[in-house]
Amino acid sequence: MSAGSLPPAPSELAGGTGILGGTFDPVHYGHLAVAEDVRETLGLERVLFVPAGMPPHKPDRLITPPAHRVAMVELAIAGNPAFALSRVEVDRTGPSYAADTVELLIAEATAEGRSSAFVFIMSAEAFTLLHTWHEPERLLRACRLAVVPRPGHRTPGRPWVAEHFPGLEDRVLFLVGPDLGHSASAIRARVAAGRSIRYLVPPAVAAYIAGHDLYPPELWRKN
């Protein structure tokens, strides 16, 4: 599908907020490009980057402490006034469930007098597992989902949505998005192997990783 063949963005989303969650371990240009593309395509006012506190789907995986992941996101988004950081997940205890996060962010926006129209941004890879998430129907009722391509993964179509979430098909927007193929795990592996990550992450993020000795080989070569 070409960008010109996309259906028009729902008018109620204009001036709304995108939510891009993830471990951001580390944040990279793929995250930034997707966020900007979705913001522009849907006419959003801003995109919130929401680093995960305790990802429920990664309970046994080694994850860099939140303070470092938050700092890298702050450095990466500093040059874009439409990007902002939310600490809603790292500042609370327990698993980070998307439905809870979205409802908290909607409540915050309403209290601040902002638009309560939210779009949860996710990759096609993650979307195929949405039916296994905690209360996915509650997430779909709280906000729209913007699904962007992920290299090597097929994007499910509307029949898949109808099968797993009947009656909620209009809550999902399939976007073309930039297809950069960046992978945080591959970036961690390059750092652990002593290889360059130039052009994969913003220079400030690369400097932070080097300055704090993140992803040392003894810990990360197998992660």
Domains of the chain: 13-119+129-220 (3.40.50.620)
DSSP3 helix / strand / coil % (the chain, rounded to 5): 40, 15, 45
| pLDDT for position 182 | 83
Q: What is the spatial distance between Cα 51 and Cα 8, in angstroms, rounded to a whole number?
A: 30
pLDDT over threshold 70, residue 223: no
| Sign, CA torsion 164/101/43/77 | negative
| pLDDT for position 2 | 39
| pLDDT for position 221 | 64
Q: How confident is the model at residue 114 (pLDDT cuts 50, 70, 90)?
A: confident
Residues 139-174 have pLDDT tens digits of 999 999 999 998 878 899 899 999 999 999 999 999
Contact 52/184 with Cβ under 8 angstroms? no
**pLDDT (average), residues 41-69:** 87
| pLDDT for position 174 | 94
How many CB atoms sit inside 10 A of residue 36's CB?
16
pTM over the 0.85 mark: yes
Residues 96-109 have pLDDT tens digits of 899 999 999 999 99
Q: How many helices (H) and strands (E) does the chain have?
A: 9, 6
- The token duo for 140 is 């779909």
Largest CA distance in the chain: 51
Surface-to-core class of residue 38, CB atoms within 10 Å of its CB (0-12 exposed, 13-18 middle, 19+ buried): buried
Read off the amino acid at residue 76.
A
Residues 38-51 have pLDDT tens digits of 999 999 999 999 99
